[in-house]
Chains A and B, each alone.
Chain A
Amino acid sequence: MRSTWHSATIVETRAETPHSVRMTLAVPTWPGSEPGSHLDVRLTAPDGYQASRSYSVASSSPWGHVVLAIDELPDGEVSPFLVNEARPGDTLEVHGPLGSYFVWRPGQNDRPVQLIAGGSGVVPLYAMAVAHDLAEDTTPFQLLYSVRTPADAFFAAELTELAGPSFQVTHVYTRQAPTGWPGTVGRLTRDTLAASTIPPSERPRVYVCGSTGFAETVATWLLDLGHSTTDILTERFGGL
């Protein structure tokens, strides 16, 4: 699938979490994309200055709509505009689909898949879970999702809906848990990681997406636990 620049029109924006927006784009020339891939959004200021950033594709269909979920980075050059200023009818330049490394393809193999996300890092993993469901793939999927509070979870309703015999979701709440939450509140630890993910003996393919600090900490722990470096795929989106 050759990637190229496309003109996109914002169809809908709505709050995804208190600091992020779910944005639906109409992209008539979009060829479709593999679960986990991303695109670059380029903004051009009136004086010609350009800035572009990568965003994972939450869902897309060929010649149709592309859905993104964009978290606002307070010092960002692109995300504050997309989250706070962009409105339906506005046009954006997007480049994609991009990336063939951090993707999951239905039927690729029958090894279990462990997804591990921090915050907005769940977006490409959500795309994989949707594809897994649509393909009626019976490969065991598990998601471990670390968020600050329940309100900060992306695609919360959709992930609950997708959960079932072949897709299990476990949350880690780092600041505040839902009422009646039986677990502890706090940062993900190596022990929690070991207890809530598919063990290395089952040779899962592990997809990790989050801030740079989150992704690198988790990847290091996975190696400590005995996962092979070639089974761990990471995508960092910056920050600490």
Chain B
Amino acid sequence: MPNHLDGNALAGVLSDVFTMDVTAARGRCGSCGRTAPVAEAMVYPDAPGLVARCASCDHVLVVVVTAGERLVLSLAGLDAIDLRV
């Protein structure tokens, strides 16, 4: 079993981007449509950066790569995030 964490582990790096905590926000998977708190995604920390995948269909939802002062964020796998929950 690959060693993975969950979306709780994204709280730190995403707090550098968003003004509020995103891990309790509900995100909709761009592939299967599952809507769930970001904290429930599977997070793989061994890639260069953090890769968050949908817990239902494994679709890549979020990729965060930090290098020195740079932070590159892709949310391309998410259709939407509902922040006020």
Q: A98 near B4 (CB under 8 angstroms)?
A: no
Least CB distance from A213 to B in Å reads 7
Cβ–Cβ < 8 Å partners of A96 in chain B: 12
Q: A52 near B12 (CB under 8 angstroms)?
A: yes
A133 CB-CB contact with B under 8 Å: no
Q: Residue among B4, B5, B38 with the most chain A CB within 10 A?
A: B5
Query: Which range contains the number of A residues in contact with the other chain?
Result: 20 to 34
The contact string, 1 if C-beta is below 8 Å from chain B, for chain A 85-124, is 0000000000110111110000000000000000000000
Cβ–Cβ < 8 Å partners of B11 in chain A: 3, 38, 54, 98-99
Q: B12 near A213 (CB under 8 angstroms)?
A: no
Q: A236 near B6 (CB under 8 angstroms)?
A: yes
Q: A235 near B8 (CB under 8 angstroms)?
A: yes
Q: B3 near A101 (CB under 8 angstroms)?
A: no
B60 CB-CB contact with A under 8 Å: no
CA distance A237 to B40 in the complex (A): 13
Closest Cβ neighbor of A209 among chain B residues? B8
A239 CB-CB contact with B under 8 Å: yes
Cβ–Cβ < 8 Å partners of A213 in chain B: 1
CA distance A142 to B24 in the complex (A): 24
Within 8 A of B (CB), among A212-240: 212-213, 215, 233-240
Least CB distance from B32 to A in Å reads 15
Cβ–Cβ < 8 Å partners of B1 in chain A: 212-213, 240
B54 CB-CB contact with A under 8 Å: no
B74 CB-CB contact with A under 8 Å: no
Least CB distance from A104 to B in Å reads 13
Cβ–Cβ < 8 Å partners of B12 in chain A: 3, 39-40, 52, 54, 95-96, 98
Least CB distance from B41 to A in Å reads 11
Query: Which range contains the number of B residues in contact with the other chain?
Result: 20 to 34
CA distance A50 to B75 in the complex (A): 25
Cβ–Cβ < 8 Å partners of A98 in chain B: 11-12, 15, 21
Cβ–Cβ < 8 Å partners of B19 in chain A: 2
Closest Cβ neighbor of A240 among chain B residues? B1
CA distance A101 to B36 in the complex (A): 11
Least CB distance from B14 to A in Å reads 9
From known contacts A95-B15, A99-B23, infer whether A236 and B5 are also in contact, taking CB-CB under 8 Å. yes
From known contacts A52-B12, A54-B9, infer whether A101 and B4 are also in contact, taking CB-CB under 8 Å. no
Within 8 A of B (CB), among A175-215: 212-213, 215
B29 CB-CB contact with A under 8 Å: no
Least CB distance from B28 to A in Å reads 16
Q: B21 near A238 (CB under 8 angstroms)?
A: no
Q: Which residues of A contact B (CB under 8 A)?
A: 2-3, 38-40, 52, 54, 95-96, 98-102, 212-213, 215, 233-240
Q: Which residues of B contact A (CB under 8 A)?
A: 1, 3-9, 11-12, 15, 19, 21, 23-24, 37-40, 45
Selected A-B contacts with CB under 8 Å, 19 pairs: A3-B21, A40-B12, A54-B8, A95-B12, A95-B15, A96-B12, A99-B11, A99-B23, A100-B21, A101-B7, A212-B5, A213-B1, A234-B40, A235-B6, A236-B6, A236-B8, A238-B3, A238-B4, A238-B5
